[in-house]
Amino acid sequence: MTKENNTEMEKIVSLAKRRGFIFPGSDIYGGLSGTWDYGPLGVALKNNVKNSWWHDFVDSREDVYGLDAAILMNHKVWQASGHVEGFSDPLVECTKCQERFREDQLEKKECPSCGGVLSEPREFNMMFETHAGALKDEDSVTYLRPETAQGIFVNFKNILDTMQPRLPFGIGQIGKAFRNEIAPRDFVFRAREFEQMEVEYFIRPEEWQKHFEAWKEVMTNWMQKIGLDMKKVHELDVPDNERAHYSKKTIDFEFDFPFGRKELYGLAYRTDYDLSKHIEHSGENLQYVDPETHEKLIPHVIEPSLGVDRTILALLASSYTEDEVSGEVRTYLKFRKEMAPVKVAVFPLLKNKPELVEKAKEVYEMLRKEVPSVVLDTNGNIGKRYRRQDEIGTPNTITIDFDTLEDDTVTVRDRDTAKQERVKIEELLEKVR
């Protein structure tokens, strides 16, 4: 990572904490590596991302059904899926300072911290193990799920029985997943607790290429819609020896983060691997029966998988902007309006003038009935308020001044250009929409 990119990443992390987007987990106790807490603006941004994804991938389609599966599952699920035996990373330990690393993330065969000699690699299973119930024995063992997909596969029969879907159809889910990463790093990019947005789309095997291309287009369109910098998005056709064991074809959408080009999303053709494994291990009949021809088959699966946290980081990296206004460097987040945590901020020009504050409250109350995420900001002088709203990505600010009391016009400022114009209060709703 270059010094310039390192500085950009530091600025993004600093802004995220300073403005209430993302805080280190357990901060007052020195933190817990690989955990992050989302503040008020971070939660709003996260919800905007998830709502947009759910609309485009689930609600707007007649062929996708929603699901919210439990985080804790019977341990036999993870035995059947191959996670108990095969969900691991190569772990090496420095013989001098005892720090641990993932071998595949090291550029040199020496400790990056102290230069010491590294141990031979050993496989480290990344699942968090716990126990369900009062007794700790083999039967009580369970895991915090390392992926959301298995919750969909074990509910495949339930969806068939209750919704009677026709092939092709999908099951979509947003949920938490957990991986005991050896070396969490790069802010929220690689964390131990994260959130996934996934669809498992069930198809006839001979039609997989058609549906694979269709879902690739859906993913690309959504990335453009939410405002990712598409010049930083790249497609990688994952080679045979690097694909997951269940995949016959995988495309990674990679993104140019400040710390380098890394995987953002994945699109995989999982064949019938998962359903076949659960049929084998559970003894349940998970076949699909065509209601017209009575043909029986185990559907194959196309999986578009997107991470919420990596989306947040990519949005911050795409929108982080610096320019110059009145001879001073200005920082702002150039969010699309749909993604912005705050859509409009209303200011009284002076917070110590009751008549301006009262008028600002009137305008604020009028707007909040029609426009989501409107705030009334009276903290600090007007310049500080502009800087604060720019940094959190608010598209428009509205200032109530003494002219407002005379002619019912306000000053509307555009975040991206910093230009201001007078607008009648009665025209505000149309303007900010």
Low-confidence ranges of the chain (pLDDT < 50): none
Residues 3-74+144-317: name the CATH superfamily: Bira Bifunctional Protein; Domain 2 (3.30.930.10)
> What is the CA 5 to chain-centroid distance, rounded?
22
Instruction: Tell me which DSSP letter residue 236 carries.
Output: E
- For the whole model, what pTM was predicted? 0.91
* Other C-beta atoms lying within 10 Å of the C-beta of residue 18: 11
Which CATH superfamily includes the segment(s) 342-432? Anticodon-binding domain (3.40.50.800)
Mean pLDDT score across all residues of the chain: 93
pLDDT tens per residue, range 118-168: 888 888 778 898 999 887 777 789 999 999 999 999 999 999 999 999 999
User: Which residues, 6 or more positions from 304, have their beta carbon under 8 angstroms from its beta carbon?
Assistant: 57, 198, 199, 201, 215, 218, 219, 265, 266, 267
* Tokens found for residue 118: 């590294």
User: Quick one: angle between helices 208-226 and 40-54, nearest 10?
Assistant: 140
3 burial level (CB within 10 Å; 0-12, 13-18, 19+): exposed
Helix axes 308-319, 3-18, angle to 10 degrees: 110
**pLDDT (0 to 100) of residue 245:** 76
With both helix axes pointing from N to C terminus, report the angle between 308-319 and 40-54 in degrees, rounded to the nearest 10: 110
Q: What is the pLDDT of residue 167?
A: 96
Question: What sign does the dihedral 379-382-383-389 (CA atoms) show?
Answer: positive
Between CA 269 and CA 243 the distance in angstroms is: 10
What is the C-alpha separation between 393 and 19, in angstroms, rounded?
10
Task: In whole angstroms, give the CA distance from residue 361 to residue 376.
Answer: 7
Helix (H, G, I), strand (E, B) or coil at 153: helix
- Joined together, the tokens standing for residue 304 give 């578009």
State the pLDDT at residue 1.
54
> Which of 3, 1, 48, 2 shows the shortest CA–CA distance to 21?
48
pLDDT value, residue 5: 67
Pairing of strands 344-348, 396-400: parallel
Q: Measure CA 37 to chain center.
A: 13
Distance CA 385, CA 379 (A): 7
